[in-house]
């Protein structure tokens, strides 16, 4: 088995698979390591903003997405207590890709991973990363097949962390706060059949101690996902002894939010409640990193704006654009000065595009979790629904971090290195 690659990517969520497709298409040898078997359900609201649809087209899975995803999302709502406010969502460009849609993660992630494999990435699945070693330009990745003792040591000059934010990588770097606090947010998600949610409506839920969202996704299933403070979760469980945490949250949401009770009234849950947490929104990029970070591994917004998959996919495009536009100008992919420069310019681009979304999401999340504070002001939304339309626009629903020219260039699979004469191709490309 070949164990030497140009790049190792850890994690095959939207970020990792996107990067694998783009790099493999450009002629890099890529190892993609994913520890879970697909298809798998995942805690997520499953709404993909319209700004990503041209990216899916360029990755070659736009048609499959269209064939599977739920209805076009044309309106946003805020549901708090007895009240519901509805506004139009902004339309994106181009006109044939104006509206976001929702697709279960079991389908979306499987489509992306299949495309990574078809593009030439070598997929290790289900394999888990046990340890990382080496240094910039000379990474070692110790992986083990799940359910067996089979281990391999992968080598590559470029290492990309796309492992999400819920589990740390074995790097030694502390990735999350260890001390638990009452304000820690736990995330829940369930799917429901026969819910009465209007197709194309994207309600945001605001309730004491948390926030969430609902959407009609693929196969007629409605997804409900939410984040809830640990102290509120404990209170829900005390009120509903004997219920699982997910069932206790469902009972609380139906009681706290009329819109949820109405939508789920006739519904039957399909599959179990999923839970994870605590989530830890914030920026994780650091100047001293040896690896490149994309998706939630680079930074995470409060999911109230439903932009995590956008940031995951778009950060992969941003990084790959940086890697591929200059990979022929360096002394090879192992060149640490070249990697530092790519890391610096990628981090600057990441912050420029995504840091404002993180700040907006944090403000909205803290307001949504305090209905006592926000309730008196909600009348403004009734009078000026355009405020919600503008909020969705500022949250990133229609703006893509990748220019159409970059999309075309990366989709074509051309890197600066490919343009170099063969004699100048760095020696390390040959795994021997």
Ligand X SMILES: Cc1cc2nc3c(=O)[nH]c(=O)nc-3n(C[C@H](O)[C@H](O)[C@H](O)COP(=O)(O)OP(=O)(O)OC[C@H]3O[C@@H](n4cnc5c(N)ncnc54)[C@H](O)[C@@H]3O)c2cc1C
| Contacting positions for ligand X (CB under 6 A) | 10-16, 33-36, 43-47, 128-129, 162-164, 167, 169, 187, 189, 225, 227, 279, 295-297, 303, 306-310, 312
What's the min distance (Å) between Cβ of 45 and ligand X? 3
Comparing CB distances to ligand X, the nearer of 334 and 358 is 358
What's the min distance (Å) between Cβ of 255 and ligand X? 20
What's the min distance (Å) between Cβ of 259 and ligand X? 17
What's the min distance (Å) between Cβ of 8 and ligand X? 10
Comparing CB distances to ligand X, the nearer of 236 and 334 is 236
What's the min distance (Å) between Cβ of 130 and ligand X? 8
* Spatial CA neighbour of 321 closest among 409, 431, 239: 409
What's the min distance (Å) between Cβ of 344 and ligand X? 21
Q: Does residue 101 contact residue 46 with C-beta atoms inside 8 Å?
A: no
SS3 150: coil
Comparing CB distances to ligand X, the nearer of 57 and 341 is 57
Comparing CB distances to ligand X, the nearer of 40 and 352 is 40
Show the tokens assigned to 329. 């100008």
Omega before 191 within 30 of 0, i.e. cis? no
Q: Does residue 225 contact residue 43 with C-beta atoms inside 8 Å?
A: yes
Q: Residue 390 half-sphere exposure, CB side, CA atoms within 13 Å?
A: 5
> What is the C-alpha to C-alpha distance for residues 166 and 275, in angstroms, rounded to an integer?
11
Residue 140 bridge partners (DSSP):
133, 155
Comparing CB distances to ligand X, the nearer of 357 and 428 is 357
Listed in sequence order, the residues at least 6 apart from 322 whose beta carbon sits closer than 8 Å to its beta carbon are 342, 345, 346, 349
Comparing CB distances to ligand X, the nearer of 304 and 342 is 304
Comparing CB distances to ligand X, the nearer of 44 and 401 is 44
What's the min distance (Å) between Cβ of 309 and ligand X? 3
- What is the DSSP-derived secondary structure letter of residue 30? E
SS (H, E, C) 325-373: HHCCCCCCCCCHHHHHHHHHHHHHHHHHHHHHHHHHHHHHHHHHCCHHH
> What is the C-alpha to C-alpha distance for residues 188 and 218, in angstroms, rounded to an integer?
19
Give the pairing type, strands 282-283 and 299-300: antiparallel
**Distances in Å between the alpha carbon of 267 and those of 177, 191, 193, 261?**
37, 10, 5, 10
Comparing CB distances to ligand X, the nearer of 116 and 129 is 129
What's the min distance (Å) between Cβ of 91 and ligand X? 18
Give the pairing type, strands 299-300 and 30-33: unpaired
Comparing CB distances to ligand X, the nearer of 308 and 413 is 308
What's the min distance (Å) between Cβ of 418 and ligand X? 27
* Spatial CA neighbour of 42 closest among 181, 172, 217, 211: 217
> What is the C-alpha to C-alpha distance for residues 51 and 90, in angstroms, rounded to an integer?
11
Q: Does residue 293 contact residue 285 with C-beta atoms inside 8 Å?
A: yes
Comparing CB distances to ligand X, the nearer of 204 and 334 is 204
What's the min distance (Å) between Cβ of 279 and ligand X? 6
């Amino acid at each position: 088995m070949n164990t030497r690659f140009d790049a190792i990517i850890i994690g095959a969520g939207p970020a990792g698979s996107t990067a694998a497709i783009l790099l493999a298409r450009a002629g890099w040898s890529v190892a993609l390591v994913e520890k879970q078997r697909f298809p798998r359900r995942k805690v997520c609201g499953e709404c993909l903003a319209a700004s990503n649809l041209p990216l899916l087209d360029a990755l070659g899975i736009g048609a499959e997405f269209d064939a599977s995803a739920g209805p076009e999302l044309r309106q946003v709502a805020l549901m708090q207590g007895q009240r519901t406010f509805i506004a139009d969502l902004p339309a994106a460009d181009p006109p044939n890709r104006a509206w976001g849609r929702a697709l279960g993660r079991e389908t979306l992630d499987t489509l992306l991973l299949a495309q990574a494999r078809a593009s030439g990435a070598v997929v290790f699945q289900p394999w888990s990363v046990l340890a990382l070693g080496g240094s910039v330009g000379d990474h070692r990745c110790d992986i083990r097949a799940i359910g067996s003792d089979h281990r391999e040591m992968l080598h590559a000059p470029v290492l990309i962390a796309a492992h999400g934010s819920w589990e740390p990588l074995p790097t030694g770097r502390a990735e999350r706060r260890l001390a638990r606090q009452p304000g820690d947010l736990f995330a829940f998600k369930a799917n429901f059949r026969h819910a009465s949610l209007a197709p194309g409506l994207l309600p945001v839920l605001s309730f004491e101690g948390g926030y969430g969202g609902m959407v009609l996704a693929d196969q007629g299933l409605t997804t409900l996902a939410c984040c809830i403070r640990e102290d509120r979760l404990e209170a829900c469980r005390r009120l509903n002894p004997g219920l699982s945490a997910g069932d206790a949250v469902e009972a609380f949401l139906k009681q706290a939010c009329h819109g949820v009770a109405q939508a789920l009234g006739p519904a039957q849950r399909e599959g179990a409640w999923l839970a994870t947490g605590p989530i830890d929104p914030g920026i994780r990029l650091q100047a001293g990193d040896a690896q490149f970070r994309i998706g939630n591994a680079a930074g995470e917004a409060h999911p109230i704006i439903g932009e995590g998959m956008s940031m995951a996919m778009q950060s992969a495009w941003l990084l790959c654009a940086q890697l591929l536009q200059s990979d022929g100008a360096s002394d090879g992919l192992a060149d640490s000065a070249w990697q530092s420069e790519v890391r610096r310019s990628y981090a600057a681009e990441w912050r420029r595009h995504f840091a404002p979304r993180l700040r907006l999401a944090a403000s909205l999340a803290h307001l949504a979790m305090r209905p006592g504070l926000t309730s008196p002001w909600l009348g403004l939304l009734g009078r000026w629904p355009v405020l919600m339309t503008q909020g969705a626009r500022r949250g990133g629903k229609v703006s893509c971090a990748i220019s159409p020219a970059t999309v075309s260039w990366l989709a074509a699979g051309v890197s600066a290195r490919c343009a170099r004469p063969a004699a100048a191709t760095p020696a390390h490309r040959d795994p021997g």
